[in-house]
């Protein structure tokens, strides 16, 4: 236990809190910070030390894990709140937030110039994966830095290095393109079943295990059938990711028409139907409303 590195975890929201609990349960010493102090304080019973400021949290940290809302917030926490300066020389920032690849590369360069290290390591698996320690972790950065933090990533999920700085974020965008588009495909299939006179729940069960099988058919398909859109992954988050996907595609001269259409529909769900805080499976509602049933 004493050989375990000191960890600071910044951002203890829906994803960060269970990730912190996984690290604490594995025996790591973890100091936590959150802009809303009560969210960090909730981790005290699990053994976390709560810091008053982000800079205080990282003063003795060998590894700083960030799980924050977006690129602008990560930039502010690292370079606006004094985290980068307060970190010891040689420490590693493992940014598990989902941010634009270009922003991740900028953070890596700025930290390297200060004698510190960076790994962009966004995740997939949602709150369920965070609780279970089964997240898919997509890492971008130097091989030696990745190997150094594998021990810390292990309690949270399965980590794979996919390339240099920024590549982890590109992998997460690829993941989110599949998620956002496939949610639409599952919604259309279940609506087709319903309008065509079949039982959507039975259709879902019938096609499970065939070529259409997926976690999205399983988890999100069930949510659609039950019309339970209590958020795991929010529509607002899916919009942020799809906007980054489309912008990154534009940067590299690539057109992604399916991603663009999914983005348009998620935005309509948010802006016209007030669904921004619903689970992203609620795209079902937008597609349903777009084709009213005939009477």
Residues marked active site are found at 172
Residues 6+ apart with CB under 8 A from 82: 53, 54, 55
CB 19 within 8 A of CB 156: yes
Q: Residues 162, 172, 106, 157: is their CA dihedral positive or negative?
A: negative
∠ CA 128-130-136 to the nearest 5 degrees? 100
CB 135 within 8 A of CB 87: no
Segments of 190-267 assigned E as strands: none
The whole-angstrom separation of Cα 32 and Cα 16 is 10
Tokens of 89: 């020389």
Query: What backbone phi and psi angles, to 5 degrees, belong to 135?
Result: -65, 145
Look-up of token digits 């937030």:
97
């Amino acid at each position: 236990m004493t050989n375990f590195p000191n960890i600071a975890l910044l951002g203890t929201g829906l994803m960060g809190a269970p990730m912190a609990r996984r690290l604490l349960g594995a025996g790591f010493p973890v100091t936590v910070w959150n802009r809303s102090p009560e969210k960090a304080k909730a981790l005290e019973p699990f053994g976390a030390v709560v810091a008053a400021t982000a800079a205080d949290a990282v003063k003795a940290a060998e590894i700083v894990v960030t799980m924050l809302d977006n690129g602008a917030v990560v930039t502010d926490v690292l370079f606006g709140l004094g985290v980068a300066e307060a970190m010891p020389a040689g420490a590693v920032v493992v940014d598990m937030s989902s941010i634009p690849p270009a922003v991740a590369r900028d953070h890596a360069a700025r930290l390297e110039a200060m004698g510190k290290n960076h790994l962009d390591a966004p995740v997939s698996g949602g709150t369920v994966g965070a609780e279970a320690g089964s997240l898919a972790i997509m890492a971008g950065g130097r091989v030696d830095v990745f190997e150094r933090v594998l021990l810390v990533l292990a309690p949270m999920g399965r980590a794979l290095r996919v390339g240099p700085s920024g590549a982890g974020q590109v992998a997460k965008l690829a993941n989110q393109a599949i998620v956002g588009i496939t949610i639409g495909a599952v919604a259309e299939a279940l609506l087709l079943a319903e309008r065509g006179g079949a039982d959507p729940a039975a259709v879902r069960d019938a096609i499970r295990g065939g070529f259409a099988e997926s976690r999205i058919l399983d988890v999100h398909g069930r949510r659609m059938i039950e019309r339970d859109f209590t958020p795991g992954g929010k529509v607002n988050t899916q919009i942020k990711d799809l906007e980054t996907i489309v912008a990154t595609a534009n940067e590299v001269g690539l057109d992604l028409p399916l991603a663009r259409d999914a983005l348009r529909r998620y935005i309509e769900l948010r802006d016209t139907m007030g669904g921004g805080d619903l689970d992203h499976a609620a795209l079902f509602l937008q597609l349903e409303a777009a084709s009213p049933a005939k009477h």
